[in-house]
């Protein structure tokens, strides 16, 4: 337990963290990687370059400081981060490295404002926070290994099938090389894929949502090819998967993880909303609802640029055709002539509140959504404007957790 003086000091630094948080975390990563380059085998380099990881850590530190006297209130956030850590292979010994470099970064960025008293308080507080993470992650490691079909670390999987789903998305059907049973997972969860790409100095690890239902003799991931666009570089991992990985290739996977899960204990209507490749966890949820809760009303909404990049469309429509409680709706921002000729979409342009209300039975459903951050921010804003309670709004970030500042604006992927 932290002493009251320590709590008071930590809380007094909240305004400083609000202003300097990202500068501190940026310096923290620079410092840590220069002293411990082996950690570059764990962290996502693209998120580092784009500043997403620094912002996510700054937000987490800020939240911890705000709630230092009631850390139980941020336990859901802790669990979400812990799932990522477990899937990446973060271990207790890494927390000492993080703590040392975080405190040093605070001292460097704040200068004389970082008094000895403040640094000692943060050292004590970090120790308590780290112990919480280590404890939660220890339970997750144990559960992943002990579950039927589970495993520790990374396990070899063979690509049984590779299927082109659209111009930009391909699915990989993965079966374990050892022939042993597969661990169950909750629809909405992901696996980490570890790759050693020829010519790359460091290992790359990426999380991909499982895009089929639990209980299959394989895991399926559906990956978008990330080509270079504007200032955004091409995705090294996605290009490697699309261009170099073929049927018969071996990939290394962590056991399924993640806290974005379908509530299967409810009979309330469900609305699944996705943009772009964000449909992958939604398709897993849809399959599960069709198989396990065929009486439950489901509205599936997907936004894409057009039909050429719309993946898994026939699969979803096939599920809807066999289950009258499922309705599907497509929103295309820039439909092609083929889309128009075949009446292949239901809304042109963007998702907005008026259209959403016309296809969803009511605001009393459970809403799940995933996609690019601007898309999710707009969806969140629409649901808030509609008056949907926060307890019924569920979403997943691809990559480090961000912030959704909702506004009832048009939505596109």
**Per-residue model confidence as pLDDT tens digits over 265-301:** 999 999 999 999 999 999 999 999 999 999 999 999 9
**Ordered strands of the 393-396 beta sheet:** 347-348, 326-332, 298-304, 270-275, 366-370, 393-396
Residue 295: closest CA among 261, 270, 321: 270
Question: Does the pLDDT at position 368 exceed 80?
Answer: yes
Lowest mean pLDDT, pick from 48-62, 105-119, 125-139, 355-369: 48-62
At residue 157, the pLDDT reads: 98
The answer to the question of whether 2 is labelled as a binding residue is no
Q: Identify the pLDDT of residue 365.
A: 95
Output the pLDDT for position 413.
53
Asked if the model's pLDDT at residue 49 lies above 90, the reply is no
The stretch 304-308 carries a mean pLDDT of 97
CATH class entry, domain 4-146: mainly alpha
Q: What is the CATH architecture assignment of 155-253?
A: Beta Barrel (2.40)
| Residue 21 annotated as lining a ligand binding site | no
Q: Is 398 annotated as a binding residue?
A: yes
Answer yes or no: is pLDDT of 177 > 50: yes
Model pLDDT, residue 401: 54
Whether the per-residue pLDDT at 97 is higher than 90: the answer is: yes
Round the average pLDDT of the chain to a whole number and report it: 91
Residue appearing with tokens 């520790």: 152
For residues 23 and 54, the answer to whether their CB atoms sit within 8 Å is no
Quick check: is 72 catalytic?
A: no
Q: What is the DSSP string of 302-361?
A: EEES-GGG--SHHHHHHHHHH-TTEEEEEEESS--HHHHHTT--SEES-B-HHHHHHHSS
Provide CATH code, domain 270-396.
Answer: 3.40.50.80
Assign 409 a pLDDT band (cuts: 50, 70, 90): very low
- Say what the pLDDT of residue 408 is: 43
* Range(s) within the chain of domains with CATH label 1.10.490.10: 4-146
Quick one: pLDDT at residue 399? 56
> Annotated catalytic residue: which of 29, 137, 186, 395?
137
For 18-31, the pLDDT digits (tens) are: 899 889 989 999 99
The active-site residue, picked from 95, 141, 173, 395, is: 95
Residue 154 assigned as binding residue: no
Q: Where in the chain is the domain with CATH 3.40.50.80?
A: 270-396
**Cβ-contact 402, 341 below 8 angstroms:** no
With cut-offs at 50, 70 and 90, classify the pLDDT of residue 412.
very low
Percent of the chain at pLDDT > 90 equals: 77
Q: pLDDT band for position 406 (50/70/90)?
A: very low
**Has 172 been labeled as part of a binding site?**
no
User: pLDDT per residue over 210-242, tens digit each?
Assistant: 999 999 999 999 999 998 887 778 889 999 999
Task: Tell me: is residue 277 an annotated ligand-binding position.
Answer: yes
The predicted model scores a pTM of 0.91
Confidence class for position 407, pLDDT limits 50, 70, 90: very low
User: What confidence score (pLDDT) does residue 239 get?
Assistant: 96
Contact 300, 327 (CB under 8 A): yes
pLDDT at residue 367 is higher than 70: yes
């Amino acid at each position: 337990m932290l002493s009251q003086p320590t709590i008071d000091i930590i809380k007094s630094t909240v305004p400083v963290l609000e202003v300097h948080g990202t500068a501190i975390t940026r310096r923290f990563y620079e410092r840590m990687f220069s002293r411990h380059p082996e950690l570059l085998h764990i962290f996502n380099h693209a998120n580092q370059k784009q500043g997403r990881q620094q912002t996510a850590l700054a937000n987490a530190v800020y939240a911890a400081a705000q709630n230092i006297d009631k850390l139980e209130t941020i336990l859901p956030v802790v669990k979400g981060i812990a799932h990522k850590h477990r899937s990446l292979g973060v271990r207790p010994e890494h927390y000492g490295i993080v703590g040392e470099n975080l405190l040093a970064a605070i001292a460097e960025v704040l200068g004389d404002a970082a008094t000895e008293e403040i640094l000692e308080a943060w050292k004590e507080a970090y120790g308590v926070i780290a112990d919480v993470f280590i404890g939660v992650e220890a339970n997750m490691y144990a559960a992943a290994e002990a579950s039927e079909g589970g495993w520790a670390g990374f396990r070899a999987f063979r690509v049984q099938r590779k299927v082109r789903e659209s111009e930009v998305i391909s699915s990989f059907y993965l079966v374990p090389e050892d022939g042993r049973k597969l661990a169950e997972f909750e629809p909405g969860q992901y696996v980490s894929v570890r790759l050693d790409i020829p010519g790359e100095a460091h290992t790359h690890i990426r999380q991909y949502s499982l895009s089929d239902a639990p209980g299959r003799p394989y895991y399926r991931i559906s990956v978008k090819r990330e080509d270079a666009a504007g200032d955004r570089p091409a995705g090294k991992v996605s290009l490697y998967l699309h261009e170099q990985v073929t049927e018969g290739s071996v990939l290394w996977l962590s056991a399924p993880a993640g806290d974005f899960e379908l509530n299967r204990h409810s009979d309330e209507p469900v609305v699944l909303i996705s943009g772009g490749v964000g449909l992958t966890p939604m398709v897993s949820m849809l399959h599960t609802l069709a198989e396990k809760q065929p009486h439950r009303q489901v509205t599936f909404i997907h936004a894409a640029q057009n039909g050429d990049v719309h993946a898994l469309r026939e699969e979803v429509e096939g599920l809807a055709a066999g289950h009258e409680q499922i309705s599907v709706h497509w929103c295309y921002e820039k439909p092609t002539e083929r889309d128009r000729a075949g009446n292949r979409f239901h809304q042109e342009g963007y998702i907005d509140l008026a259209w959403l209300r016309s296809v969803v039975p009511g605001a009393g459903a459970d809403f799940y959504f995933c996609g690019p951050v601007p898309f999710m921010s707009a969806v969140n804003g629409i649901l808030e404007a509609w008056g949907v309670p926060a307890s019924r709004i569920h979403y997943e970030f691809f990559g480090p957790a961000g912030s959704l500042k909702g506004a009832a604006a048009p939505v596109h992927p």
